[in-house]
Amino acid sequence: MALRSYQYGNVAPDLAEEVATSLESAIEKALDARDEDLVGRLAEIDRQMQSLTLLMKRAAQLQVAQRAENLLAHCHDGHCTGSPDAIATMIATLESVLGRSQTVSPDPAPKA
């Protein structure tokens, strides 16, 4: 309303100064609020990126564990080749990698 009064010939330097000061203050507050919002959003994005990075690492670990599980099952089913000692060592190693404590000896070598 103060600015509109100038449209009709009002000449009041004090009023102009007051309006300009009020506008500057309002703009500064709006910019500060925007900055705070952006800082919060960036922090949330950083948190989500860290979570995604951890998830990707965990997914890679799960893939390795699944491959070890598959190989262990393959060996337990008697499909591994090699000496019984080598097979027992492979099974023990796989179980150790998978965090298991039991060790199952391999099936005896097939009789000819």
User: In this predicted model, what pLDDT tens digit does every residue of 67-82 receive, in sequence order?
Assistant: 888 888 888 888 888 8
Shortest CA distance to 65 belongs to which of 28, 87, 33, 94? 94
Rounded distance between C-alpha atoms, residue 10 and residue 3, angstroms: 9
Task: Single out the residue of 69, 98, 111, 103 nearest to residue 87, CA to CA.
Answer: 103
Cβ–Cβ under 8 Å, residues 95 and 103: yes
The structure's pTM equals 0.48
In percent, the amount of the chain with pLDDT more than 90 equals 35
Highest mean pLDDT among 48-52, 97-101, 103-107: 48-52
Residue type, 110: P
Beta strands in 21-112 (DSSP E): none
Question: Mind listing the pLDDT tens digit for each residue in 9-48?
Answer: 777 778 888 888 999 999 999 999 999 999 999 999 999 9
